[in-house]
Amino acid sequence: MNNILDTSYLFLADGFEEIEALTTVDVMRRAGMKVYTVAACGKEKTVKGANGIEVIADKNIDEIDATDAQWIIIPGGMPGSTNLAANVKVTDIINKQWIKGGNIAAICAAPAVVLGPIGVLRGNEATCYPTFKDDLIKAGGKYVDNRVVISGNLITGNGPSSALVFAFAIVAQTLGDDVASSVASGMLV
């Protein structure tokens, strides 16, 4: 089990948005960050994305100890976000991360569908996929129509086209703007 403060976890469930998940992991790893993909629902490590792409996760949720996670990251996609929100292990990990003041990042449907019902958005500025705006507001979030919104230790993104911006925001918040800029430059961004 990994219990190191520099380890982050990105949760996957069937129906996750592939570009949001894989872009984020790719950019974080390019920056030298330790991030694991986690099959969050079921015993198998193979998870099928919203567009039919199958991914073999690094770990299963039963194999991780997220007590000291640097980041808990939730990609969007449907029904991936709904599947994550329905999983008590996932919501428990997210809730504990939030209560202790840990870092959480969610994109697309995930801010409203996964974070909203457990109170993470309450009082925070956030964004999400536009069709979930009303759910975000009902959950007590302050909707901001931006690609990415940083509100303290919470980063939210609005959808697939913002995956790179979202990933760079995580890197910048963790390792600084210089590292994020260096990785972006190397990717010709």
Residues carrying an active site annotation: 108
Alpha-carbon distance of 10 to 39, in angstroms, equals 9
Residue 24: which H helix or E strand, with range? helix 18-30
CA distances to 9, 74, 101, 140 from 113, rounded to whole Å, are 19, 10, 20, 13
Question: Alpha-carbon distance 156 to 115, whole Å?
Answer: 10
Residue reference for tokens 């990415």: 148
Q: What contacts 116, CB < 8 A, 6 or more positions away? A: 135, 136, 138, 139, 140, 141
Between CA 149 and CA 13 the distance in angstroms is 24
Task: Characterise 77 by phi-psi region: left (phi > 0), alpha (psi -120 to 50), beta (else).
Answer: left
Q: Could you tell me which of 107, 152, 162, 153 has the C-alpha nearest to residue 132?
A: 107
What is the distance between the alpha carbons of residues 25 and 88, in angstroms, rounded to a whole number? Answer: 24
